[in-house]
Amino acid sequence: MNRLTTSIAASGFACFALLYTPQPVMPQIAAEYGLGPSAASLALSAATLALAVVVVPIAMLSERLGRRPVIVVSVLVAAVLGLLLPFAPNYEVFLALRVLQGVAAAGVPAASMAYLADELEKKSLGAAVGAMIAGNSLGGMTGRLVTGMTTDWLGWRHSVLLAGAFGLVAALVVVFLLPKQHHRPKRAPSGMRAALRDPVLLSLYVVAVLLVGAFISFYNVAGFQLSGPAWLETLVFLFYGFGSTAAAVAGRLADRYGRGRVLLLCIGVLALGALASLVWVPLGLAIVTAGFFASHTTASGWVAARAPSHARGQASGLYLAGFYLGSSVGGTSGATSYEEWGWGGLVLVVLGWLALAAMLAQNSSARVTRESTGAMVVLPRRGSSGLPSTMPTDTERVSAGTSTTTANGSGPPS
């Protein structure tokens, strides 16, 4: 398990380091290519939008080709494209490479959760997903820090090249350590239908949109709220270290106490961070980051455990499509709220999103609990007098739920 968990965490590290590398050097990219802020932002959004578009088809492809080949090819191609980025002769070529990189990187999030669910026992799944999310968090932090902290003396091209080298090293770890797949996914045309018919899974897809929208909103406008030199503002990405720790802890707690309870707790931590930011923005960002990655770990692990084996790829893909949809649409909506009403208005909007996410998590947890208890509904039987009899026959006892799914979402899905 250690080898599997390490290699999956390395794949997430490589993927997210490569995806978010350009964010801290957008001003330098804009200056070189003569761009405004909105055009320069495409350096990031071109890749994430491409990933959101293709993540579900690639997740479905992993059902046919196997998870491991998709992960290995994905991380290697994304790393090679990362090394080519600094040599783009113009911005159009740069954006084309970023789109291709987003498409390539999509294989890692599309197949990783399903791979873990296929290979591990349910009781070990939460901790492994936590390690994967921790790798994602550390990768996103490292990619940003490497470019943001070195661009003043290396220039943005060499900084991006350095970050690409980090991504390549992590990719090679995946190639050599990721174990062979023991449980090959079944080809099942009903997989997408199953992933879309379960109310719990549908709720978790929406939760992903709300959570990441809240998180990205804060980081999108933090630079406008904070003041100081660029290298100092880059240090806020060190808070991703809190996210890595929180992700690992949340995964273990979800295995022990149930995903529904832990998800509600993590959403509460995220809300606490939003409120704390009203007092001091850096403190709020630190708590928000921990709460978000803990919530993301718990929700994504719930999806992997809840989905039927033939639909894990599709369910994970839909969850991630929601994740990146929230990153783009939610992040823009949060920035608009900040422009209109300031930081306090943004906090109020985010708290509304989190309240909706908590409601969906609570309803999903309650549904799973009802399924696990299999509450009996007794239908009245007419006696000879025409009045309902108080003693129903066995054939008139109807179970309200036949699933054996446990309250933490780790049993066989219904």
Vertex 60 angle, CA 299 and 250, to 5°: 15
DSSP letter, residue 158: H
Query: Would you state the structure tokens that stand for residue 34, as one six-digit string?
Result: 């003569």
Amino acid of residue 110 = A
User: Using CA atoms, how far apart are residues 48 and 126, in angstroms rounded to an integer?
Assistant: 26
Q: How far apart are CA 221 and CA 219, in angstroms?
A: 5
Q: Which parts of 155-239 fold into alpha helices (H)? A: 156-177, 191-197, 199-225, 230-234
Residue 377, classed as helix, strand or coil, is: strand
- Residue 178 is predicted with a pLDDT of 86
Structural domain 1-185, CATH architecture: Up-down Bundle (1.20)
**CA distance linking residue 334 with residue 332, whole number of Å:** 5
Q: Where are the domains of the chain?
A: 1-185, 186-376+399-414
Alpha-carbon gap, residue 325 to 320, rounded angstroms: 8
109 vs 14: CA distance, rounded Å: 11
Structure token pair of residue 318: 């839909």
Residue 2 has which token pair?
């250690």
- 377 exposure class (CB count in 10 Å sphere: 0-12, 13-18, 19+): exposed
Joined tokens for residue 218: 């804060």
pLDDT for residue 93: 95
Share of the chain above pLDDT 90, in %: 31
- Confidence bin at 212 (pLDDT 50/70/90): very high
Examine the pLDDT at 405 and tell me if it is beyond 50: no
| 81 — pLDDT class (breaks 50, 70, 90) | very high
Q: What is the dihedral of CA 345, 349, 354, 360, to 10 degrees?
A: 160
Instruction: Give the model's pLDDT for residue 47.
Output: 85
Q: Per-residue pLDDT for 97 more than 60?
A: yes
Q: Are 365 and 261 in contact (CB under 8 A)?
A: yes
Instruction: Summarize pLDDT for 269-326 with one digit per residue, the tens.
Output: 999 999 999 999 999 999 999 999 899 989 988 998 898 877 877 787 789 889 888 8
Tell me the pLDDT tens digit for each residue of 53-76.
888 888 778 878 888 899 999 999
Which segments of 92-184 are extended strands (E)? none
Q: Is the pTM of this model over 0.85?
A: no
- Count CB neighbours of 379 within 10 A: 11
Q: What is the pLDDT of residue 262?
A: 95
**Checking DSSP bridges between strand 388-389 and strand 397-399, what pairing results, if any?**
unpaired
Classified as helix, coil or strand, 382 is strand
Q: Residue 365's pLDDT is what?
A: 92
User: What is the percent of the chain where pLDDT is above 70?
Assistant: 83
pLDDT in tens, 10-31: 888 888 889 888 877 777 887 8
Phi-psi region of 112 (alpha: psi -120 to 50; beta: other; left: phi over 0): alpha
Which conformational region is residue 388 in: left (phi greater than 0), alpha (psi within -120 to 50 degrees), or beta? beta
Whether the pLDDT of residue 378 is over 50: the answer is no
Cα–Cα distance for residue pair 353/330, rounded to 1 Å: 10
Higher pLDDT, 1 or 64: 64
Task: Give me the chain's average pLDDT, please.
Answer: 80
Residue 38, pLDDT score: 59
Tens-place pLDDT, residues 112-165: 877 887 777 766 677 777 777 778 778 888 887 888 888 888 888 998 999 889
Confidence of residue 231 (pLDDT cuts 50, 70, 90): low
- Which of residues 138 and 349 earns the better pLDDT score? 349
pLDDT for the residue 223 = 64
Instruction: Report the distance separating Cα 74 and Cα 240, nearest Å.
Output: 24
Q: Domain 186-376+399-414: which topology?
A: Growth Hormone; Chain: A; (1.20.1250)
Strand partners, 399: 376
